[in-house]
Chain A
Amino acid sequence: MDKRKLILAFETSCDETSIAVVENGEKILSNIVATQIDSHQRFGGVVPEVASRHHIEQITHCLTEALEVADVDYDDLSAVAVTYGPGLVGSLLIGVTAAKAVAFAHNLPLVPVNHMAGHIYAARFVDQFQYPQMALLVSGGHTEIVYIKSEYDFEILGETRDDAAGEAYDKIGRVLGVNYPAGKTIDEWAHEGSDTFDFPRAMIKEDNYDFSFSGLKSAFINTVHNAEQRDEELNSRDLAASFQQSVVDVLASKVERALLDHPVKQFVVAGGVAANKGLRSRIERDLQTKFPNVQLLMAPLKLCGDNAAMIGAAGQVAFDHKKRTDMSLNAVPGLSF
């Protein structure tokens, strides 16, 4: 029998310090995630310098624990994988620097991983991948539709022109007095209200796969402010429902357009906003009715947010594709596919 392949993976692109051990790219042996949400809540969003300071506090503790929980030693590892972008440069640097030190200390190959590829591979823990494949990546930093013609061959079909979907949630959350990160609460409120405001669906008719959420955000904020000036109280549940309906309509319609033009075997939904119940059920229903032959792979809820297990899964495939870096690896905050 072949020796099992073990990847030690590092992920520090934003405000989670995470280190994982993944076996054969499909089994999580450990996935330590130290979140800084409680810290950034104080500021209403991620403060980059504060994030970097927390990462350096956590990094070696997470490393030790990841190996302990996985019950493996450095001798057992095949490679070290690390997120080198996109993300906050100061945050990325902690993971990149630590991963390089570990790879050097134990003479292990170092595999650079794109954070967005990592998000797609969170769905690898649900089922094996088949190609061609398409993915909708929605998070606080990104909103994009990715076409994957064959293994580890990514092409962005469309992306947001301004705010990411998750960012829009956080911004309107602030107006509604919801703590950062606002996505989960808005999603819950949306299910208690209905779409009475009929906010704009930006770019929904345009013949491309791109998104825009800043117009929706402005319309939302204007609606609330105008009501305040009239001393009128708007129903927060209906506001949330109307906002979410617009976001989901735009995402779903662009996905439908992309799927019509690019037939695929699988469709992946991943990223922090993929935990949104409204979005999940809409995509599920759309695929069942309009694309019954496309297999839907939704990232498991607990792997939607940033974590190193997804980097380990992507890292194993990158490793098999002979992706390597030397000790000069740097963080690339604006990294694209």
Chain B
Amino acid sequence: MKILSIDTSNAPMAIALVEDKQLVAETTLNITKNHSVFLMPVIEQLMQMASWTPQQLNRIVVAQGPGSYTGVRIAVTTAKTLASTLNIELVGVSSLEVLAKAPIELTGLPVVSIFNARRNTAFAGGYQLKNNQLQTFIPEAHYELADLISQINANQQPVMVVGEIIPEFKDQFMNNTNLVTFGNAQSQFPSAFQLALIGTDRQSVEDIDGFVPNYLRITEAEMNWQKSHPGESKKSYVREV
């Protein structure tokens, strides 16, 4: 099975070609946030080097968020459009889980992945291995950092924290819990190979058209509107004319 995997959830961009769990080609860029400019040229180049044609692809695996809204949308739009137009399988994987897989396998420790969501909040999730399967022990959500630390403390288990650990986060972890160690430099960056490996065993999505990013946060406009209009939300706000 030929897989193209893509992660542009945050500043780094990760792309891989993977065949039957073997890495064929992988590129990680950490030079810019301009994923719109670089994503397709890198895909084009990797496919050319691997002598793969788009028609040979069997499956697209994409990091579905959370992360930067625009970044996640570029990967998800590319992935769902390729899957739709080539009539192939699409798999979405949590961008947080992508970061957790390698350190868990390496250390056996439960891992908490975090992305900076500004204003001292983070998108985060906690994962551990159970019967060789990755399981969530802290649900993926948008947390006040203090709440995330409380959850880690309540769990009473040592964890490794990986991802976007800005200095302000690091200070708060160090001051408020002794259960946390921090991942190495490599654990800050997503690996598209790991993403493809997770995506190889997953069920593909049934409704490609309905596939959207996992933002983990509604927009501010929507939140304010819902507050002032309780119970009025409709299922769909878009119609064909």
Contacts and interface: CB of A to CB of B under 8 A. Distances in A.
Contacts of A164: none
Interface residues of A, number: 43
Contacts of B86: 105
A249 B136 CA distance: 65
Interface residues of B, number: 41
B40 A327 contact: yes
Given A56-B213, A60-B80, A105-B85, A328 B241 contact: no
A33 B215 CA distance: 25
Contacts of B70: 52, 90, 93
Contacts of B219: 47, 49-50, 53
A34 B240 contact: yes
A54 B219 CA distance: 12
Given A34-B238, A35-B238, A43-B221, A59 B80 contact: yes
A330 B34 contact: yes
A35 B241 contact: yes
A48 to B, nearest CB: 9
A61 B208 CA distance: 9
B221 A50 contact: yes
A42 B219 CA distance: 13
Contacts of B80: 56, 59-60
Interface stretch (B71-79, B107-115, B119-127): B71-79
Contacts of A20: none
A96 B81 contact: no
Contacts of A56: 73, 76-77, 80, 212-213
Interface of A: 17, 32-36, 38-39, 42-43, 47, 49-50, 52-54, 56-61, 63-64, 74, 90, 93-94, 96-98, 100-102, 104-107, 326-328, 330-331
19 contacts: A34-B240, A35-B238, A35-B240, A36-B237, A42-B225, A50-B221, A52-B73, A59-B80, A94-B77, A96-B36, A97-B39, A97-B81, A100-B40, A101-B78, A101-B82, A104-B44, A107-B54, A327-B40, A331-B36
